[in-house]
């Protein structure tokens, strides 16, 4: 008889950003949860950039927060600097980015995990997934031989599966920050029928603060009035930030020459390694080769922590030998005497084909088995955390016998992320970009709470108090817009004349409402506070009023597009159909539709290789099927 060390509702494998969110969500929703990790000391590790957020990614963090996740709160509580990026553009692409104290971030997350009732975080490496003879999930086995039963399992192994560290011609087993690679589990997954692919990523050298000449670099301070990720930020998360500055410098022709002269010293250029790397975060040598017409590249120097002397060199990721790294590093302005504390490296690791998953991140072949994070082919802490949260929620709903929780592309960036992974598939590490979201004007970082808090409340991850506060905010926004529409100014009003002159705005020929005035791009809500009757609200309410009024026409157009999108999503495709039988479909469409089994016509339309002509065939098929069934509901 097989001995099991314990039985759990949910077992989470891995304690990176995906694992943390997955375990917390499951435990907070009432599951008896076990988290297994190679090292308790490296929970919530930031092995690459010590920051959270940015364009698209910052929106994901706020969506995690609105659904009841932890990343936003943890980032706020350990921030060194906060800055909203892309402010020269429209609010659809604004992105809050927080420079984090990587050590404080880890320590706080460990405290949160260890304090969570119903969650045990245990140090042990998982080497096998256990299924019975009918391919039903049983649990997991660790390297020490311990077995644990699990009703659900979430695999969140990050970049650790069969990982190898590459510097120059050196290629040795290893994981971030000198940890052990995770062995065994890849082979177990392959044995159970999961296709394994090879991806890679990298990190730049860390430099000693005392050796950097910051006077030769451009200062990059945080915002004077820093924002927070969490919509419920209080206490420790609203503390004054130390605002440790970052710095900007550039590579130059000398840098590029040293790199070009030493490319043959990299395994990636000898053709011996084939792992696909991230297109939007290439190594410095890839930048030099791919963008050979550029005479320089931006490089940011960022602090790792309040009490740390290490500085992260963003944009300088490299897999060249250590001595070469130091040579080209010291050609950069301000880095002439740089002392390297940790050299850069590339890391190759195993991932699965994300198209074997449903939109709940559950395996199609093994019920109860979920995957989240970089094992699904994504890159970045934020993308991983979002998947972990969704997997943790759906593991709970699975056990409760409830319908899975799925966000659409029209509801959240998280919905875009997962839909891209499941329906489009990926051939390189996936990074969330604002350009990937068709409805980004509706999916802004500022309104994530209005979009998702009610859903988090229904799930049980958002408190009654927080839900009510969000609904009061929504009511205040509508009230404010109504009041602005009711207040009319005469063109002879001296306050209006003064404002028009101050802003260089054309004087209205007739009476004008404050709502109409706010539609002018040069006029802000703050400008209108000089007029009698103007309501005063919390800053976040005034921000929403201004955005909703100013972009009303564009918002209404996107809302119309979403209605069309929802119509396609409502047209359900039967799961028992054999697409080989449908005449008129292309060969590629037949193969992919049979393999992926989309649930709706909308999902089918987003599969690479399925053409508009194929969608028309599916529409005719649904109409014919509906007629045969007597015109019943779809």
What pLDDT digit, counting tens, does each position of 76-86 carry?
999 999 999 99
CATH ID of 571-628, from 3.50.50.60, 1.10.3720.10, 2.60.40.1180, 1.10.150.570: 1.10.150.570
Q: Please, are residues 380 and 373 in contact by the beta-carbon 8 Å criterion?
A: no
Give residue 236's pLDDT band: very low, low, confident or very high (50, 70, 90): confident
What pLDDT digit, counting tens, does each position of 575-586 carry?
899 999 998 999
Among 102-106, 230-234, 525-529, the least confident range:
230-234
Longest distance between any two alpha carbons in the chain, whole Å: 91
Q: Please, are residues 56 and 76 in contact by the beta-carbon 8 Å criterion?
A: no
Q: How far is CA 441 from CA 91, 444, 553, 565, 580, in A?
A: 7, 6, 11, 15, 39
| 509 HSE (CA, 13 A, CB side) | 0
C-alpha–C-alpha distance, residues 179 and 182, integer Å? 9
Q: At 168, is the secondary structure helix, strand, or coil?
A: coil
Q: Please, are residues 376 and 356 in contact by the beta-carbon 8 Å criterion?
A: no
Q: Please, are residues 181 and 40 in contact by the beta-carbon 8 Å criterion?
A: no
Q: Please, are residues 25 and 393 in contact by the beta-carbon 8 Å criterion?
A: yes
Beta bridge partners of 630: none
Q: Please, are residues 455 and 441 in contact by the beta-carbon 8 Å criterion?
A: no
Within 175-332, residue ranges assigned H as helices are 185-191, 253-261, 267-270, 284-290, 322-329
Burial of 541 (0-12, 13-18, 19+ CB in 10 A): buried
Q: Which residue has the tokens 């256990």?
A: 130
Q: Please name the residues in contact with 233: beta carbons below 8 A apart, sequence gap of 6 or more.
A: 73, 76
What pLDDT does residue 4 have?
87
Portion of the chain with pLDDT greater than 70, in percent: 97
Of 31, 53, 7, nearest in space to 385 by CA: 53
What pLDDT does residue 233 have?
73
C-alpha–C-alpha distance, residues 225 and 143, integer Å? 49
Topology given in CATH for the domain delimited by 466-555: Arc Repressor Mutant, subunit A (1.10.10)
- Does residue 633 carry a pLDDT above 60? no
Among 123-132, 225-234, 375-384, 504-513, the least confident range:
225-234
Q: At 226, is the secondary structure helix, strand, or coil?
A: coil
**Secondary structure of 309-368 as H, E, C letters:** CEEEEECCCCCCCHHHHHHHHCCCCCCCCCCEEECCEEEEEEEECHHHECCCCEECCCCC
Query: How many CB atoms sit inside 10 A of residue 275's CB?
Result: 20
Q: Please name the residues in contact with 446: beta carbons below 8 A apart, sequence gap of 6 or more.
A: 91, 94, 540, 543, 544, 547
End-to-end Cα distance, the chain: 50
Q: What sign does the CA torsion over 394, 395, 396, 397 have?
A: positive
C-alpha–C-alpha distance, residues 349 and 372, integer Å? 15
- Does residue 630 carry a pLDDT above 60? no
Instruction: Give this prediction's pTM.
Output: 0.94
- Does residue 176 carry a pLDDT above 80? yes
C-alpha–C-alpha distance, residues 397 and 251, integer Å? 51
Give residue 179's pLDDT band: very low, low, confident or very high (50, 70, 90): confident
| 235 HSE (CA, 13 A, CB side) | 3
| Token pair belonging to 432 | 């969330």
Q: Please, are residues 200 and 427 in contact by the beta-carbon 8 Å criterion?
A: no
| 97 HSE (CA, 13 A, CB side) | 21
DSSP state of 105: H
- Does residue 367 carry a pLDDT above 80? yes
Give residue 629's pLDDT band: very low, low, confident or very high (50, 70, 90): low
What pLDDT digit, counting tens, does each position of 121-171 carry?
999 999 999 999 999 999 999 999 999 999 999 999 999 999 999 999 888
What pLDDT digit, counting tens, does each position of 47-75 carry?
999 999 999 999 999 999 999 999 999 99
What pLDDT does residue 178 have?
82
What pLDDT digit, counting tens, does each position of 305-328 carry?
999 999 999 999 999 999 999 999
C-alpha–C-alpha distance, residues 241 and 550, integer Å? 32
Q: Confirm whether 242-344 and 571-628 share one CATH topology.
A: no
Portion of the chain with pLDDT greater than 90, in percent: 85
Q: Please, are residues 378 and 428 in contact by the beta-carbon 8 Å criterion?
A: no
Q: Where are the domains of the chain?
A: 6-204+349-458, 242-344, 466-555, 571-628
- Does residue 628 carry a pLDDT above 90? no
CATH classification code of 242-344: 2.40.30.260
Domain with residues 6-204+349-458, CATH architecture: 3-Layer(bba) Sandwich (3.50)
Mean pLDDT of the chain: 93
| 270 HSE (CA, 13 A, CB side) | 15
Q: Please, are residues 35 and 157 in contact by the beta-carbon 8 Å criterion?
A: no
DSSP state of 261: H
What pLDDT digit, counting tens, does each position of 541-582 carry?
999 999 999 999 999 999 999 999 999 899 999 989 999 999
What pLDDT digit, counting tens, does each position of 406-417 carry?
999 999 999 999
What pLDDT does residue 491 have?
94
CA angle 173, 178, 182 (to 5 degrees): 50
Q: How many helices (H) and strands (E) does the chain have?
A: 20, 22
Of 433, 459, 455, nearest in space to 66 by CA: 455
What pLDDT digit, counting tens, does each position of 599-622 carry?
999 999 999 889 989 999 999 998
Q: Please name the residues in contact with 615: beta carbons below 8 A apart, sequence gap of 6 or more.
A: 601, 604, 605
Query: How many CB atoms sit inside 10 A of residue 31's CB?
Result: 23
Give residue 274's pLDDT band: very low, low, confident or very high (50, 70, 90): low
What pLDDT does residue 426 have?
87
**Secondary structure of 467-497 as H, E, C letters:** HHHHHHHHHHHHHHHHHHHHCEECCCCHHHH
What pLDDT does residue 634 have?
45
Mean pLDDT on 220-232 = 94
Q: Please, are residues 409 and 384 in contact by the beta-carbon 8 Å criterion?
A: no
Mean pLDDT on 259-264 = 92
C-alpha–C-alpha distance, residues 3 and 466, integer Å? 44
Query: How many CB atoms sit inside 10 A of residue 435's CB?
Result: 10
* Bigger pLDDT: 177 vs 336: 336
C-alpha–C-alpha distance, residues 464 and 21, integer Å? 21
| Token pair belonging to 298 | 């931006």
């Amino acid at each position: 008889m097989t001995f099991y060390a314990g039985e759990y509702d949910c077992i989470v494998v891995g304690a990176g950003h995906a694992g943390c969110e997955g375990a917390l969500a499951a435990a907070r929703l009432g599951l008896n949860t076990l988290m297994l990790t190679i090292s308790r000391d490296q929970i919530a590790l930031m092995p690459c950039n010590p920051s959270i957020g940015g364009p698209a990614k910052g929106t994901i963090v706020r969506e995690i927060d609105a659904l009841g996740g932890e990343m936003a709160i943890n980032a706020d509580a350990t921030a060194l600097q906060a800055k909203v990026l892309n402010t020269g553009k429209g609010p659809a692409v604004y992105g809050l980015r927080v420079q984090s104290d990587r050590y404080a971030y880890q320590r706080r997350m460990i405290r949160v995990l260890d304090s969570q009732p119903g969650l045990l975080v245990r140090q042990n490496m998982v080497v096998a997934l256990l299924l019975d003879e009918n391919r039903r999930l049983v649990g997991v086995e660790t390297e020490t031989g311990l077995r644990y039963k699990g009703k659900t399992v979430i695999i969140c192994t990050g970049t650790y599966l069969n990982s190898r560290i590459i510097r120059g011609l050196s290629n040795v087993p290893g994981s971030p920050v000198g940890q052990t690679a995770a062995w065994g589990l890849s082979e177990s997954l392959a044995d159970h029928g999961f296709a394994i692919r090879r991806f890679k990523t990298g990190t730049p050298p860390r430099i000693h603060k005392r050796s950097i000449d910051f006077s030769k670099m451009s200062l990059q301070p945080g915002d004077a009035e820093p924002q927070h990720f969490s919509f419920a930020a209080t206490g420790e998360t609203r503390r004054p930030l130390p605002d440790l500055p970052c710095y900007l410098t550039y590579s130059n022709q000398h840098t590029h020459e040293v790199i070009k002269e030493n490319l043959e010293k990299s395994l990636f250029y000898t053709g011996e390694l084939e792992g696909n790397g991230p297109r939007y975060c290439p190594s410095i040598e890839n930048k030099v080769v791919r963008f050979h017409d550029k005479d320089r590249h931006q490089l940011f120097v960022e602090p790792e922590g309040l009490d740390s002397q290490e500085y992260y060199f963003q944009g300088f990721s490299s897999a060249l030998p250590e001595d070469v790294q130091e040579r080209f590093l010291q050609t950069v302005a301000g880095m002439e005497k740089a002392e390297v504390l940790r050299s850069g490296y590339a890391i190759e690791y195993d991932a699965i084909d994300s198209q074997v998953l449903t939109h709940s991140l559950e395996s199609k072949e093994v019920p109860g088995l979920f995957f989240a994070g970089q094992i699904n082919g994504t890159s970045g802490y934020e993308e991983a955390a979002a998947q972990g949260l969704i997997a943790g929620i759906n593991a709970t709903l699975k056990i409760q016998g409830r319908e899975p929780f799925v966000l659409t592309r029209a509801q959240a960036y998280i919905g875009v992320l997962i839909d891209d992974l499941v329906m489009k598939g990926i051939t390189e590490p996936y990074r969330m970009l604002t350009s990937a979201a068709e409805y980004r004007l509706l999916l802004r970082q500022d309104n994530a709470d209005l979009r998702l808090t009610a859903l988090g409340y229904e799930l049980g991850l958002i408190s009654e108090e927080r839900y009510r506060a969000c609904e009061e905010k929504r009511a205040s926004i509508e009230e404010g817009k109504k009041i602005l529409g009711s207040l009319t100014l005469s063109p002879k009003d001296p306050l209006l004349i003064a404002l028009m002159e101050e802003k260089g705005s054309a004087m209205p020929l007739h009476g004008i409402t404050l709502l109409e005035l706010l539609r002018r791009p040069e006029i802000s809500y703050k400008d209108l506070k000089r007029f009698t009757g103007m309501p005063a609200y919390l800053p976040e309410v005034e921000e929403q009023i201004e955005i909703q009024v100013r972009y009303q026409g564009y918002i209404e157009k996107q809302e119309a597009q979403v209605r069309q999108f929802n119509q396609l999503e409502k047209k359900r495709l039967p799961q028992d159909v054999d697409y080989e039988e449908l005449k008129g479909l292309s060969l590629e469409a037949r193969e992919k539709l049979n393999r992926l089994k989309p649930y709706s016509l909308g999902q089918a339309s987003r599969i690479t290789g399925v053409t508009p002509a194929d969608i028309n065939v599916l529409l005719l098929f649904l109409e014919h099927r509906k007629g045969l069934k007597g015109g019943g509901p779809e």
